[in-house]
Amino acid sequence: MRRLGNRTVTLAALLAASLTVLVLSRGGATRPLETVAFAPLQPIQRLVNNVSTGFITRSEQRQEIEELKARVRELEQTVAAYQVDLVRLREIERDYDRLSELLDYSTQAQDQQLLVADVIGRDTSGFLRFIVINRGARDGVRVGQPVISDRGLVGRVGDVTATAAWVRLAIDQDSAINARMQNTRTEGTVVGQLAGGMRMQFIPQEAVIEEGDLVLTSGLGGNFPADIVIGQVASVRAQEAELFQEAEIRPTVDFDRLELVSVITAFEPVDPTLFEETIEEELEQTP
């Protein structure tokens, strides 16, 4: 009876302590403590992560070699076909440049500043999809900044300490990104899926989407620069009874093998007021 009493008292005390820490942490009060506690763990965590990622990558690479050999032969044939297209497109590009100069038109440089970071860990919770990187507030990383890799969009910074940051991946359940199709310019919202993929929602029914279409950030909302690659359409689900169609997106980034990412610490967001001004001007001109 006494033993049960001790256990219950300990349980109640530790539950109360956990909830207190939770409330304090949510309010940011534990941030200095977390910074101090996490800093010495970072090098060890980086080592463990590098070893495990390297091991997994190497073992998977061996299996992939045979598949890749067959794929190389297939791609060589495709490249030959694309070279014909490339010559044609270069001609079009030259025409475009000449016409742009004539019209005194220039595409606005996005003026991005990148900060390279190592991935040192992954979220320990099964429900959340975060990675930990070895750059923090001291390096200029702030909550909300976009994170990319050489293959495309990775996610957004969700939390920062002085020396590390937690990046919410684009495949996280709570991630929502304004996106558009490269070919048709159709817009929608890309959300994360539990199974690890992504889904593009709110695509108008009349939009024509095909498998393999490239999905890019639209830049609307100002959270991400425009035209970062998110993935490719894997399948489309369109039902006449519904207002919108949906598309399963195959990410271009392999989120399980991320080792190096770049945080976009500064970029020129898409200015939605430009569109508002255009609409107002059109309205004014309308008799």
Contact stretch for other proteins (CB under 8 A) within 137-145, 193-201, 243-251, 270-278: 193-201
Nearer to other proteins, 26 or 73 (CB): 26
- Nearest approach, Cβ of 74 to other proteins (angstroms)? 29
Among 80, 92, 103, 195, indicate the residue that binds other proteins (CB under 8 A): 195
Among 22, 68, 208, 266, indicate the residue that binds other proteins (CB under 8 A): 22
- Nearest approach, Cβ of 6 to other proteins (angstroms)? 6
256 near other proteins, rule: CB under 8 A = yes
Contact stretch for other proteins (CB under 8 A) within 47-55, 246-254, 262-270, 275-283: 47-55
| CB atoms inside a 10 Å sphere around CB 204 | 11
Kindly determine how many residues on this chain lie close enough to bind other proteins according to the rule CB under 8 A. Answer: 50
121 near other proteins, rule: CB under 8 A = yes
Residue ranges in 141-180 that form contacts with other proteins under rule CB under 8 A: 158-159, 166, 168, 173-174
Tokens coding 151: 């293959």
* Burial class of residue 165, CB neighbours in 10 A (0-12, 13-18, 19+): buried
In whole angstroms, what is the distance from residue 264 CA to residue 115 CA? 6
Residue 36's region, left for phi above 0, alpha for psi from -120 to 50, else beta, is alpha
203 phi and psi angles, rounded to 5 deg = -90, 125
- Contacts within 8 Å (CB) and 24+ apart, 167-171: 167/130, 167/131, 167/132, 167/133, 167/261, 168/128, 168/129, 168/130, 169/129, 169/130, 169/131, 169/255, 170/198, 170/230, 170/251, 170/253, 171/129, 171/196, 171/197, 171/198, 171/251, 171/255
Among 89, 116, 194, 238, indicate the residue that binds other proteins (CB under 8 A): 194
135 near other proteins, rule: CB under 8 A = no
What are the beta bridge partners of residue 198? 192, 249
Nearest to 154 by CA among 65, 256, 63: 256
Contact stretch for other proteins (CB under 8 A) within 45-53, 83-91, 97-105, 271-279: 45-53
CA distances, 246 to each of 197, 208, 212, 236, 254 (Å): 13, 12, 14, 6, 22
Contact stretch for other proteins (CB under 8 A) within 25-33, 139-147, 263-271, 278-286: 25-33
Site string for other proteins, 53-92 (x = CB under 8 A): x--x------------------------------------
Residues forming the site for other proteins (CB under 8 A) = 3, 6-7, 10-11, 14-15, 17-26, 30, 34, 37-38, 41, 44-45, 48-49, 51-53, 56, 121-128, 130, 132, 158-159, 166, 168, 173-174, 194-196, 256
